[in-house]
């Protein structure tokens, strides 16, 4: 998958306004593709990236348009936690949910990033239904 | 010395005999990869060649889950026409000659960053006691970048000898190219100079 953004909100009812605009980042292109398809189908507008630095560049000029950033944690070059800090610095209102396929060890993160404010963690693999519920819970 | 080659060529060079071998006994080398698939190819081909030769292989993974590493090893074969000769990883895991661990947890589980090293040393003791060929340790250091512990990583790297006195130990420090690019030029040079050989996967 290209690291260029792929924006899509064409769903079954294309006249409907999207529920929210999301930015998805994962260095695994298959995961990005699956999540994007599932979210778009459920009326979210999605920009998807496999390169976190490209995602950040896209976020900067449009920071207010995003409701949530969904990012993998372990990515080379820029981790999800580092990305979370940067997007929150640009737009403190944006929600950030981090994903990981690894066991989340709070002690490792809290030691190193005590001030990083994220709005949730999800464990991969995650079903589209679970993910949508997570996003909707933050929309309320 | 910086060697540039494809993942297949590197895997071959690591298992070659004598002077062509980039991973001679005792070597501490640096490997820069730009794609997890290429790293999988290297450690899989290496394990496939060396596990049956009584080598202990330790893989510390950062961007692949342990399950992904196992699958990569399971699916590894000798070539396009050799899919019947796969690694029986359960056998090696059960006999304790193949170890796959979460590098981040090992490096950062303790404050001294030496969890991987301690594990490798304990495997070395075991290898000696059991008369094994040696220990090869592939360790991805990506977590040092994620945790912003670059100075600590360089200090740790410099604490490992370029060439181990213990010839039974071979160390391959694995850097994703996007992490390596985050280093300053002088940090890159320090690391390249310190390792016995440096390999860029093309």
DSSP result, A17-73? PPS-EEEEE-S-HHHHHHHHHHHHHTT-EEEEES-HHHHHHHHGGGGGG-SEEEEES
Beta-bridge partner residues of B197: B29
Instruction: Return the number of other C-beta atoms located less than 10 Å from residue B198's C-beta.
Output: 21
Distances (CA, A) of B178 to A36, A78, B43, B155, B182: 24, 8, 20, 20, 7
Q: pLDDT at residue A55 above 70?
A: yes
Q: Tell me the residue range of the domain where B40 lies.
A: 2-201
Please give the backbone phi and psi of residue A23, each rounded to the nearest 5 degrees, phi first: -115, 120
Q: Is A85 on the interface with B (CB under 8 A)?
A: no
Q: What is the pLDDT of residue A106?
A: 62
Closest CA to B145 of B184, B117, B183: B183
B chain contacts of residue A103, beta-carbon cutoff 8 Å: 102, 105
Give the A:B interface size as CB pairs under 8 Å: 44
Q: Judge whether A1 lies within some domain.
A: no
- Separation between Cα atoms, residue A70 and residue A131, nearest integer Å: 10
Rounded to the nearest 10°, the torsion over CA B103, B107, B109, B115 is 100
Q: How far is B177 from chain A (nearest CA, A)?
A: 8
Number of domains in chain B: 1
Q: pLDDT at residue B82 above 80?
A: no
Q: Which of A29, A71, A76 best tests the B interface by mutation, with the highest count of B CBs <10 A?
A: A76
- Separation between Cα atoms, residue B144 and residue A56, nearest integer Å: 21
CATH, residue A35:
3.40.50.2300
Kindly state the tokens that stand for B17. Answer: 């005999």
Residue in A77, A101, A111 closest to B65 by CB: A101
Q: Is A79 on the interface with B (CB under 8 A)?
A: yes
Q: pLDDT at residue B83 above 80?
A: no
Q: What is the pLDDT of residue A85?
A: 93
* Predicted structure pTM score: 0.90
Q: Tell me the residue range of the domain where A87 lies.
A: 6-139
* For residue A125, cis peptide bond before it (omega within 30 degrees of 0): yes
Q: Is A27 on the interface with B (CB under 8 A)?
A: yes
Q: What is the pLDDT of residue B109?
A: 83
Q: Is A74 on the interface with B (CB under 8 A)?
A: yes
A chain contacts of residue B108, beta-carbon cutoff 8 Å: 108, 111-112
Q: What is the pLDDT of residues B92-151, one digit of tens each?
A: 999 999 999 999 999 988 778 889 999 999 999 999 999 999 999 999 999 999 999 999
- pLDDT band at A2; cut points 50, 70, 90: very low
- Separation between Cα atoms, residue A67 and residue A59, nearest integer Å: 11
Q: How far is A105 from chain B (nearest CA, A)?
A: 8
Distances (CA, A) of A87 to A36, A109, B24, B74: 20, 18, 46, 39
Q: Judge whether A10 lies within some domain.
A: yes
Q: How far is B140 from chain A (nearest CA, A)?
A: 11
Q: End-to-end alpha-carbon separation of chain A, Å?
A: 33
CATH, residue B99:
3.40.50.300
| Cβ separation B178–A77 shorter than 8 A | yes
Q: Which residues contact B131 (CB under 8 A, 6 or more apart)?
A: none
Q: Judge whether A42 lies within some domain.
A: yes
A114: exposed, middle or buried (Cβ count in 10 Å: 0-12, 13-18, 19+): exposed
Number of domains in chain A: 1
- pLDDT band at A103; cut points 50, 70, 90: confident
Please give the backbone phi and psi of residue B162, each rounded to the nearest 5 degrees, phi first: -60, -40
CB distance B143 to B103 below 8 Å: yes
């Amino acid at each position: 998958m290209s690291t260029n953004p792929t924006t899509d909100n064409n769903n079954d009812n294309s006249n409907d306004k999207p529920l929210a605009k999301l930015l998805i980042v994962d260095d695994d292109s298959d995961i990005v593709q699956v999540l994007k398809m599932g979210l778009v189908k459920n009326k979210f507008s999605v920009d998807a990236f496999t390169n976190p630095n490209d995602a950040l560049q896209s976020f900067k000029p449009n920071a207010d348009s995003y409701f949530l950033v969904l990012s993998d944690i372990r990515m080379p070059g820029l981790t999800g936690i580092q990305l979370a800090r940067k997007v929150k610095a640009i737009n403190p209102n944006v929600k950030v949910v981090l994903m990981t396929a690894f066991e989340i060890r709070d002690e490792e993160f809290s030691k190193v990033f005590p001030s990083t404010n994220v709005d949730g963690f999800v464990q991969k693999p995650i079903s589209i239904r679970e993910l949508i519920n997570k996003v909707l819970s933050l929309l309320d | 010395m910086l060697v540039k080659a494809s993942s297949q060529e590197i895997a071959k060079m690591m298992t070659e005999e004598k002077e062509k071998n980039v991973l001679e006994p005792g070597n501490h080398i640096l490997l820069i990869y730009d794609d997890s698939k290429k790293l999988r190819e290297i450690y899989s081909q290496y394990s496939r060649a060396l596990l049956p030769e009584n080598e202990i292989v330790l893989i510390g993974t950062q961007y692949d889950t342990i399950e992904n590493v196992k699958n990569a090893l399971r699916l590894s074969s000798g070539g396009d026409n050799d899919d019947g000769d796969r690694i029986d990883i359960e056998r090696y895991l059960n006999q304790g000659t193949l170890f796959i661990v979460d590098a981040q947890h090992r490096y950062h589980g303790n404050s001294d960053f030496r969890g991987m090293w301690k594990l490798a040393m304990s495997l070395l003791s075991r290898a000696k006691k059991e008369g094994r060929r040696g220990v090869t340790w592939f360790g991805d250091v990506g977590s040092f970048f994620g945790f912003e512990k670059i100075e600590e990583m360089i200090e740790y790297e410099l604490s490992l000898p370029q060439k181990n006195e213990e010839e039974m130990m071979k160390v391959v420090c694995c850097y994703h190219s996007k992490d390596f690019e985050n280093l300053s030029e002088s940090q890159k040079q320090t690391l390249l100079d310190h390792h016995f050989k440096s390999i860029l996967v093309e």
